[in-house]
């Protein structure tokens, strides 16, 4: 029987609204078995991020070395990176993984001004590029990474093309922060300039629910671990997120969380 182990490397949000806890929950629901490491510990609530403490690189290296020497990994989900030292450890470890690698490039929180990654973005791309299979930025992250505006369909295409040049992998540009009656996620494959769009109704208030980006990238990675093609995984991931957006929950005084 296939293991369907999904290696999750992401930050810990104690509120469970995003990061490793949400990634693991979504991975199980999508059919994978989560294993993983914490790339950074955060001090945060449903109202925002207060502090970030990147993982100790020596401990992270030891954890990954032991895990990869023991378990077969079917796919990888990368989230918050924390520091350049963490990125270097991850880049070296991913050379030992044959399965697809999905990176949700979380560089800044949706609530608060604390940086979630203190290293160079160019250095992160250089370290991770050889292993990446899919990059999953939202419009704001795509604009930050490329320096391009990302507000229209034409701009989405240009940003996706630029990101593919930077990371040499497929790009799923999430449309949850763009306007319109529909929420459209756009996939640019690694080996084709033909865009694939995954559209769904925009749920009222959905843009204010915390953790949607983490959930989508984790669901896609989990479905890839289960053997889906990339378009199939993206379609299944979007459907899963839509179900959770329809039933958000209030964890504390701040943002709603995925149901």
> Which of 238 and 183 is assigned the larger pLDDT?
238
Is 1's pLDDT higher than 60? no
- The answer to whether position 88 is within a domain reads yes
pLDDT of residue 195: 96
103-159 per-position pLDDT tens digit: 999 877 666 666 778 888 889 999 999 999 999 999 999 999 999 999 988 999 999
Can you read off the two tokens belonging to residue 182? 């529909």
Is 256's pLDDT higher than 90?
no
Question: Is 99 domain-assigned?
Answer: yes
Greater model confidence, 62 or 259:
62
State the pLDDT at residue 118: 81
pTM confidence score: 0.95
Handedness of CA 21, 222, 82, 95 (dihedral sign): positive
Does residue 220 carry a pLDDT above 80? yes
Question: pLDDT by residue (tens digit) across 17-32?
Answer: 999 999 999 999 999 9
- The β-bridge partners of 182 are 201
**Tokens in use for 213?**
């980006």
Contacts with 69 (C-beta within 8 Å, 6 or more apart), sequence order: none
243 domain residue, yes or no:
yes
Cα distances from 249 to residues 42, 121, 157, 212, in angstroms, run 21, 33, 34, 13
Tell me the per-residue pLDDT of 169-216, one tens digit each, with 9 for 90 and over.
999 999 866 766 788 999 999 999 999 999 887 766 666 788 999 999
Is 258 within the bounds of a domain?
no
* Structure confidence at residue 2 as a pLDDT band (50, 70, 90): low
The pLDDT of residue 48 is 87
- In angstroms, the CA 241 to CA 259 distance is 10
Residue 147: count of CB within 10 angstroms of its CB = 8
- 259 belongs to a structural domain: no
Mean pLDDT of the chain: 92
Greater confidence (111 vs 61) lies with 61
pLDDT higher than threshold 60 for residue 87: yes
The domain that contains 38 carries what CATH number?
A: 3.40.1190.20
Alpha-helix residue ranges (DSSP H) falling in the chain: 19-29, 57-68, 84-94, 121-128, 139-146, 153-167, 212-225, 230-245
| 45 domain residue, yes or no | yes
Q: Which domain holds residue 85?
A: 5-253
Backbone angles phi, psi at 103, to 5 degrees: -120, 120
Please choose, from the candidates 223, 227, 225, the residue with its C-alpha nearest in 3D space to the C-alpha of residue 240. 223
The number of domains in the chain is 1
């Amino acid at each position: 029987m296939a293991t369907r182990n999904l290696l999750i490397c992401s930050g810990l949000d104690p509120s469970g609204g995003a990061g490793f806890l949400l990634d693991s929950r979504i991975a199980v629901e999508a059919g994978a078995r989560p294993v993983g490491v914490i790339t950074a510990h955060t001090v945060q609530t449903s109202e925002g991020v207060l502090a970030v403490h990147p993982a100790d690189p020596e401990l992270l290296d030891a954890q990954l070395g032991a895990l990869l020497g023991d378990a077969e990994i079917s796919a990888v989900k990368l989230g918050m990176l924390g520091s350049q030292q963490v990125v270097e450890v991850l880049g070296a470890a991913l050379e030992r993984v044959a399965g697809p690698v999905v990176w949700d490039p979380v560089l800044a929180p949706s609530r608060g001004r604390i940086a979630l990654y203190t290293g160079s973005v160019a250095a992160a791309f250089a370290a991770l590029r050889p292993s990446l299979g899919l990059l999953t930025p939202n419009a704001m992250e795509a604009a930050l990474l490329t320096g391009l505006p990302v507000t229209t369909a034409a701009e989405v295409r240009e940003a996706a093309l630029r990101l593919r040049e930077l990371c040499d992998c497929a790009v799923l540009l999430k449309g949850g922060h763009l306007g319109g009656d529909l929420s459209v996620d756009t996939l640019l494959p690694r080996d084709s300039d033909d865009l694939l769009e995954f559209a769904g109704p925009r749920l009222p208030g959905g843009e204010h629910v915390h953790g949607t980006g983490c959930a989508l990238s984790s669901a896609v990675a989990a479905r890839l671990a289960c053997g889906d093609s990339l378009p199939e995984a993206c379609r299944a991931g979007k459907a899963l997120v839509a179900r959770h957006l329809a039933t958000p929950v209030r964890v504390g005084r701040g943002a709603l969380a995925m149901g």
